Amino acid sequence: MVIAMCMSAAAIGAQQPAPATPAAAPSAATAQTPPAAPGLDAATVVDGVFESSGFKFHYQLPKGWQALDDAKRVAANQALRDQYAHPVHNPNMPSSKKTSAQKKADPTTTANAPTTAPRRTSVPAIPNNFSLMVASPNGVDSVDSAVLPRINIWANHRIPSIDTAKQRALVLETLGQVVVPTAVVTVAGREFARVEVLHAGGGPYHSLWVTAAGDYLIGFDVRATSDAEMQTLLETLRTVRFD
């Protein structure tokens, strides 16, 4: 029985933003950006079998598919963390995220600013959002490759606005024509939220499956050029196994 499932790439649909070139020489703090949480982004692909030792699950890639070189994947993960740690150097970061040193405060407004405004739930200053695997029939050269078909597996730190698998899946519904609306299903004994959309211009088909794992959301992001191709790829998700 064919499974309709959906999972990106934040940021999604996509997934990993390309690191920006620093506008200024890095400071001492910049050079000391901590690496990803020890072991969490550790993963291997051996004989077509993906294994995440950090999140303890396995997945059998479609036959003949090739995954991104692991050194490139790990380097891209660290580059993304550098952007979070030093947003002032990232031209893609909203101005509201820039450090206060880059802003000129208006004394007439700050003097009268309310001090009892509600505070948002705190989140890690440098969240551990990273790619666990990117693969396609002929391989890819980066975590944000647009080659089709492809499968991305990622892990994103949960935040107040996107704290559940269903909330993450619903984000994708806003990015295209909904083919399969968000629903909660069970795969390999785990609860997943899945959704599928068709992006503007007739494609690509985009399916996302998301499950919660502690403080993280793990996503299986599948892109295809046709519905038939998508259904074939979704069948491989039956091989997902969590230890």
Residue 54: exposed, middle, or buried by beta-carbon count in 10 A (0-12, 13-18, 19+)? buried
25 domain residue, yes or no: no
33 domain residue, yes or no: no
199 domain residue, yes or no: yes
182 domain residue, yes or no: yes
71 domain residue, yes or no: yes
The two tokens of residue 227 are 């519905």
The two tokens of residue 8 are 């990106």
Q: Is the pLDDT of residue 163 over 70?
A: yes
Share of the chain above pLDDT 70, in %: 67
Range of the domain at 76: 43-90+126-242
Q: Which of 50-54, 79-83, 94-98, 207-211 has the lowest mean pLDDT?
A: 94-98
pLDDT, tens digit, 9 for 90 and up, residues 91-144: 445 555 544 434 444 444 444 444 444 444 445 666 688 999 999 999 999 999
Find all residues with CB under 8 Å of 166, minimum gap 6, and list them: 182, 184, 193, 210
145 domain residue, yes or no: yes
Task: Identify the CATH number of the domain in which residue 76 sits.
Answer: 3.40.1000.10
pLDDT, tens digit, 9 for 90 and up, residues 28-74: 444 455 555 567 899 999 999 999 999 999 999 999 999 999 999 99
How many structural domains does the chain have? Answer: 1
19 domain residue, yes or no: no
Confidence of residue 81 (pLDDT cuts 50, 70, 90): confident
